[in-house]
Structure 1
C-alpha cells in the first residue's frame, strides 16, 4: 500500500461510525453514573461489538490496603496548574490519553502565553488508537496547562485554561 495515499472515504466513514459509537458509550455512561446515589464499584457498557469497562476503588483507604504498599505521594503542586475558577477551559473531547505535541519529541501545540483562535488545535486525545484533535472553541490566551503528555483524561476534563479575548 502506498504510504502517501490519501485516506479512502470508506475509512473516513468507518472512523465516523466508530466516533458515533464512542459518543454513545460516553453519553450512556454519564447518564448511568448520574442515576446512582453513590459511585458504583464498576461499570460495563456494550454497544454493538464495542465494550467499555471501568472499575473504581470503593473507599479512600482501599488503594493502600495491599501488603507493604507505601502511601501514595502527595500530588506535586505546580503554579501553572493552579487556575483561577473564573478562567474558562479547553476540555477533553473524549476519554483517553492526552498529548500536547503532534508526535514524540515535537514542540507542543501551545504553551502558556500563546494566543489561540477558535478552531486551533491545541492537543490530541488518543482513544483506542484514534487520534482525536483537541481544539479551542473560543479565542484567548493560554493561562495554564492542566494536563501533561501521557496523562489519562476523562470526557470534558479541563486540559488548558485560557483568558478570553
Structure 2
C-alpha cells in the first residue's frame, strides 16, 4: 500500500526528475512537462534570437495558429497555460466573433499552475476570429483572439 505524498514532495520529485532528464538529453531543451497525479511541473526556456556559433537552429514552434492578418490586432496570452473562453464550464464565453470589446475587457482566462489569469484586451476592437480552442494549451505571447481595430469595417 502506498502512502500519499504531499504536493510539495511530489513537486520536489518532479524537479529532480526534470533535472536528470535535461542533463541526459543531447542538445538544447526548449520545454519539459512532467505530471504525477494532479501535480504538473512545466519548464520552458526562451531560446535567444542569436544562437551560439555552430548550434543547430531552434525548431519553429509547430503548434498554434499563424499570427493575425496584417491590419488586425491580437489579444495575446499573458502566460503559458491552458486557455478557457468562459469563466466556468457550461457558461457563456467572455466574447464571440462579432462582439465589440473595449480596452481592459476580459476576453478569456489562462490557467497556469491552478491559478486563473484573466486575459484582457489592450485595445478596443471587434472580434473577428478566436484563434485558440477552449481548453487548448497556449504559449506565452501566443495570439488568442484577432481583432479588427475600432473604427474599421471589413468589406
TM-score (norm 2): 0.56
Give the deviation of 1:40 after TM superposition.
2.4
CA distance in 2, matches of 1:82, 1:92: 13
1:40 and 2:14 equivalent? no
1:113 is paired with a residue of what secondary structure?
coil
Out of 53, 57, 60, the position equivalent to 2:43 is 53
Inter-partner Cα distance in structure 2 for 1:54 and 1:141: 33
8 Å contact from structure 2 (residues 68, 74) kept in 1: no
1: CA distance between counterparts of 2:99 and 2:133?
A: 16
> In structure 2, which of residues 77, 93, 115 is the aligned counterpart of residue 108 of structure 1?
93
Deviation at 1:88, TM superposition (A): 1.1
- RMSD after superposition: 2.8
Within a 5 Å distance, the mapping from 1:89-108 to structure 2 comes to 89-108=74-93
**Alpha-carbon offset, residue 148 of structure 1:** 1.1
Q: Deviations over 1:126-162 (max 9, x none)?
A: 0000000000101010010000111000000000000
Unaligned ranges ≥5, structure 2: 1-26, 33-40, 46-55, 57-62, 151-155
| Secondary structure in structure 2 of the residue aligned to 1:98 | strand
Question: How many aligned residue pairs are there?
Answer: 99
